[in-house]
Amino acid sequence: MAKTLRDLMTLKRAIAVVGLGLLPPAVLSATWWRGLFNSGTMSFEMQMGYLVGAFMVMAFLWQAGFYLAYSGVALSGLEAIAKEDSQGALLMMVSKPISRVQFLLGKFLALVLAALALELVLLLGTLVAFWAIIGVDPQIVSVLLGLVPWVFLFSVIVSILFAAISLALSALVKNDVMRSVGMLLALALVFSAGPMMRATWADKYESYRLYYVDGSYNLGNAYVMLLDRAEQGRMLPAAQAWLGLSTGAYKAGPQTILVMFLGGPASFDPDIGAMSPSLEQSTYIPPGVSLLLCLLAGAAAFAVGAVALNRKEVQ
């Protein structure tokens, strides 16, 4: 574990991972958001709600989502076993008084710890970018800072899941291209299959209970549960609609976002005669069950990797 952690935490890799991860928030801050915030048309409360929502959505879709899964974990995990095997280090390792499961566990822990260390720097760097480029009020930065621990906890779930998947592929598949293709398919199934199923098979999605195998929904459901525990910072309906479209955690679709962009009452509540402060959450599965399903999927992937490594012929 210590050796793998040293290999993963090189200065060159840290700069590359954090730098590329900060690119979207930095570009958006320097272009769209800076002009919007400096136009003088937004109240302090609107600035707070807008930036809180933007941070939460971007964190799920990028920093703590796809980018963390692919660049922070998968790219390194896919080579963790295969590279050791091709270079002969695995043969030396299995000749020592250490089980193959212990060897795999060391790789797994190193992947998760390295990913989380870089993820923390990335999340804090995003707040620095907001403060330095947009020039937002320190009080807004303080609220966003209070959200970081909860987003970080979500990063732990994503890191565990994709570290296990990448190690399983590394132990199962010898060909580099096939491992990469398998990882991309896994990412597509987790982050993209759910929105497509909900859009094309809405009735079957519910009647066949496809939400149990919908990675995006279960991750989104767990994400919303964690963020609801933050003392400050709540998403506006517009941000909730984006999460609803990408994960199904909120009852929202493309029409909701379209109406909001056009200025319509997308979340107008006739009972109170005003805009609702929040969209309705989906209730397919309790959030705690979604969190458990994500962790069980990671445990299952790790078990597959352990079985594959135990059966692997090392020469």
pLDDT digits (tens, 9 = 90+) for 278-290: 788 898 999 999 9
How much is the pLDDT for 47?
85
pLDDT-derived band at 257 (thresholds 50, 70, 90) equals: low
Which pLDDT value is given to residue 181?
94
Q: Which range (145-154, 158-167, 252-261, 292-301) has the least confidence? A: 252-261
Contacts of 180 (CB under 8 A, 6+ apart): 78
Average pLDDT over residues 200-219: 92
C-alpha span between 138 and 88 (Å, rounded): 53
Q: How confident is the model at residue 235 (pLDDT cuts 50, 70, 90)?
A: confident
Take residue 135 and report the two structure tokens written for it.
């020039």
Tell whether the torsion through CA atoms of 235, 241, 244 and 250 is positive or negative: positive
Q: How, if at all, do strands 274-275 and 268-269 pair?
A: antiparallel
Q: How confident is the model at residue 73 (pLDDT cuts 50, 70, 90)?
A: very high
Burial class (CB in 10 A: 0-12, 13-18, 19+), 118: buried
pLDDT digits (tens, 9 = 90+) for 146-204: 999 999 999 999 999 999 999 999 999 988 999 999 999 999 999 999 988 988 888 89
The 8-class DSSP code of residue 151 comes to H
Other residues' Cβ atoms within 10 Å of the Cβ of residue 130: 24
Report angle CA 81, 85, 87 to the nearest 5 degrees.
Answer: 120
Between 96 and 146, the more confident residue is: 146
Contact between 217 and 245 (Cβ < 8 Å): no
In contact, 71 and 17? CB cutoff 8 Å? yes
Q: Choose among 115, 83, 157, 148: nearest CA to 14.
A: 115
**Which stretches of the chain are assigned E, i.e. beta strand?**
268-269, 274-275
Share of the chain above pLDDT 70, in %: 92
Contact 197, 214 (CB under 8 A): yes
Helix, strand, coil shares of the chain, percent, nearest 5, are 75, 0, 20
- For residues 36-69, one letter each, b for 16 or more C-beta atoms within 10 angstroms of the residue's C-beta and e for the rest, the string is ebeeeeeeeeebbbbbbbbbbbbbbbbbbbbbbb
Both tokens assigned to 246: 């990408």
pLDDT of residue 268: 45
- Identify the DSSP state of 280: P
Q: Find the DSSP H helices in the chain.
A: 2-8, 11-28, 34-37, 44-58, 67, 75-80, 82-86, 89-94, 100-129, 138-172, 176-191, 193-200, 202-207, 215-227, 237-247, 254-261, 287-311
- Write down the pTM of the prediction: 0.90
* Chain CA centroid to CA 300, Å: 19
Listed by start position, the domains of the chain span 2-311
DSSP tag of 114: H
